[in-house]
Chains A and B, each alone.
Chain A
């Protein structure tokens, strides 16, 4: 099982770990690790074989400013605890289960409908009950945008905007990100101002979006995900292809 499919694969895995591949081959090997389990195992095996050589390096103190620079640079993506990683810590997989979330989504929609029905009734019932229902409403998004791919019409992600100003991106499918590229989330609040970057991530995962510098989310506000160079678009505007986009709609 630990054997790669062919000797050629093993040679490539060894050269990859040794650092002997040229740039294009190296990038191709990095992509293959993501998709080819046998190749990834061969790479891991070579890493483990040669890893002792790393421990022969002499320790050299970094300059005191280095950590601060790293700390500053890793603030760029406002990453909240992401569900898939929490699941990995617990060993649970329900967070990764798309079927569960589809049903949860449908369930959520039904709950919203039921809630709306109750809400209408609640207007005429006791003030006490009404306050309870308003409290419940705080935990539900006020606006939802379903981001869809223009060509395939597949839904790729949902943006939820809550009453307290929190906005999150929830992916619905894995999005392939080539090495050296990143997913960037944008919103267009005002056409005169143009799109604003609100999040950056190396992979499709739940992301807290940063809309602090923007006014409250409004009806029909455009959200989109584009593929950009690592570190985000260098010019502050989308440069890469639009993967998914959609407009915010008010929930019931």
Chain B
């Protein structure tokens, strides 16, 4: 596909700052809400590879990740009018839709299957190291001691429930819940 070349080029374009990308996405969402189908493809071309990556960290399987992104784009198309630029970023809104779909598939799949393939190799420190040096989230997460900060990464990035966290970290459910609570409170205090 000739299209793939331009997609990659667009993503890697260093001239496209986060701010430019954000305004592009916000404009594309407004056009989606006005019924412009080309705008949906603009979002797809720019974000789909990253979205698949986000869904894969929760679902571990490429086919399920694509299913989540497929469902997410249908919701993005139908729900674009619900995006309010005064309330938050287009990026935050779009990725929330993707994570919601992936989490929903994850919960349904694991209702019948308690073993999470691939979950054993997860390394929260690698994820942390991929955050930009300038990221306030990185600075604030680093101030929380392990394994308390791991629960934030494992839940947000890999879609683990309280029960899954307790199983993986081998601590009681109540302890996990209190770690989540205290870590999120610390993040809020640190980031404002």
Instruction: Give A contacts to B, CB under 8 Å.
Output: 10-11, 14-15, 17-20, 23, 40-41, 44-45, 47-64, 66-67, 69-71, 73-74, 77, 79-82, 84-86, 88-89, 201-203, 205
Contacts and interface: CB of A to CB of B under 8 A. Distances in A.
Interface in B84-126: 87-89, 91-93, 95-96, 99-100, 103, 107
A85 B70 contact: no
Interface of B: 1, 4, 11, 30-31, 33-37, 40-41, 44, 48-50, 52-54, 56-57, 62, 65-66, 69-70, 73-74, 77-82, 87-89, 91-93, 95-96, 99-100, 103, 107, 127, 130-132, 135, 137-138, 152-153, 155-157, 159, 161-162, 180-181, 184, 187-188, 191
Contact of A89 (B30, B37, B100, B137): B30
Contacts of A88: 30, 33-34, 81
If over half of B's interface residues share one DSSP class (helix, strand or loop), that class is named, otherwise mixed; here it is helix
Given A20-B180, A44-B87, A56-B127, A49 B66 contact: no
A88 B107 CA distance: 36
A70 B69 CA distance: 9
23 contacts: A18-B155, A18-B184, A20-B155, A20-B162, A48-B88, A49-B187, A49-B191, A53-B131, A53-B157, A54-B50, A56-B130, A57-B57, A62-B48, A63-B62, A63-B66, A64-B1, A66-B70, A73-B74, A74-B74, A86-B34, A88-B33, A202-B79, A203-B82
Given A17-B156, A88-B81, 12 more contacts: A19-B99, A45-B88, A47-B89, A56-B127, A56-B130, A62-B69, A70-B70, A81-B36, A82-B33, A85-B34, A85-B35, A86-B34
B91 to A, nearest CB: 6
B129 to A, nearest CB: 9
B81 A49 contact: no
B159 A19 contact: yes
Contact of A52 (B36, B99, B132): B132
Given A17-B96, A44-B87, A66-B70, A80 B52 contact: no
A54 B69 contact: no
Contact of B35 (A41, A54, A80): A80
A155 to B, nearest CB: 22
Contacts of B70: 66, 69-70, 73
A79 B73 CA distance: 16
The 6 closest A-B pairs by CB, nearest first: A57-B53, A44-B88, A85-B33, A59-B49, A56-B130, A47-B92
B92 A44 contact: yes
A70 B152 CA distance: 32
Contacts of B81: 82, 84-85, 88, 203, 205
Contacts of A18: 152, 155-156, 180, 184
Nearest to A80: B35
B35 A79 contact: yes
A53 B34 contact: no
Contacts of A73: 70, 73-74
A48 B33 contact: no
B103 to A, nearest CB: 5
Contact of A49 (B69, B137, B153): B137
Given A60-B62, A74-B77, A81 B35 contact: yes
A51 B131 CA distance: 11
Contacts of A45: 88
A11 B30 contact: no
Nearest to A45: B88
B53 A62 contact: no
A61 B156 contact: no
Given A19-B155, A20-B180, A82-B81, A57 B191 contact: no
Residue among A19, A48, A64 with the highest chain B CB neighbour number at 10 A: A19
A243 B70 CA distance: 30
A82 B11 CA distance: 31
A61 B51 CA distance: 10
B157 A60 contact: no
A54 B52 contact: no
Contacts of A82: 33-35, 81
